[in-house]
Amino acid sequence: MKGKKSKPYKSVKKHVSGNTKSHRGNKCVHCGWSNHDSKECRFKSAVCHACSVHGHLASICPSKKNKAEKKIFSEHKFLKSDEEVTNEVFLSDSFFYTLDDSYSCRSPDPIKIDLSINSKIYSFELDTG
């Protein structure tokens, strides 16, 4: 075989000069990753899709976290120590019951429509989605 011989790959280690501060454990306030410093983040001018504020991604949005916590607390009823426990059905319970119960329901009868086109009657089945 004529031509140049291929050389084996060599690993090259680069020395980083300047401040070599470790980023482990320090999450970036803009994206949530810990492999870079916040002031070097490429998402520091990004617009959040959850709250429309500049400077962070929706995945780490502080307002999104607060909404999730509020939702959790709003779904549960907390009882005082002197209140009696009753057999109440909460929305979350009825939702799952509906999902389980839906398998046993039969499908409704199809809706049929007669349509007259050029003095001829055509029967159609309505697609309800």
Residue 43 lies in a domain: yes
Reported as a single tens digit per residue, the pLDDT across 13-28 is 554 444 444 455 688 9
Instruction: Give the CATH number, domain containing residue 43.
Output: 4.10.60
Residue 105 lies in a domain: no
Which amino acid is present at 123?
S
| Domain-embedded: residue 95 | no
* 106 located within any domain: no
Q: How far apart, in whole angstroms, are the C-alpha atoms of residue 49 and residue 127?
A: 35
Instruction: Give the span between the Cα atoms of 92 and 90, in whole angstroms.
Output: 5
pLDDT at 19: 42
How confident is the model over 26-44, as pLDDT tens digits? 889 889 998 998 889 999 8
Question: pLDDT per residue over 73-129, tens digit each?
Answer: 555 555 555 555 555 555 554 455 555 444 555 667 888 888 888 999 998 888 877
Q: In 10 A of CB 96, how many CB atoms?
A: 9
CA count, 13 A, side-chain hemisphere, 71: 8
pLDDT value, residue 12: 54
- Domain residues for the domain of 52 are 24-66
Give 100 or 7, the one with higher predicted confidence: 7
**126 found inside a domain:** no
Q: Would residue 60 count as lying in a domain?
A: yes
Whether residue 40 lies inside any domain: the answer is yes
Q: Is residue 31 part of a domain?
A: yes
Contact in structure between 46 and 38 (CB atoms under 8 Å)? no
**Number of compact structural domains in the chain:** 1
Which of 3-12, 41-50, 108-117 has the highest average model confidence (pLDDT)? 41-50
CA atoms of 72 and 58, how far apart (whole Å): 19
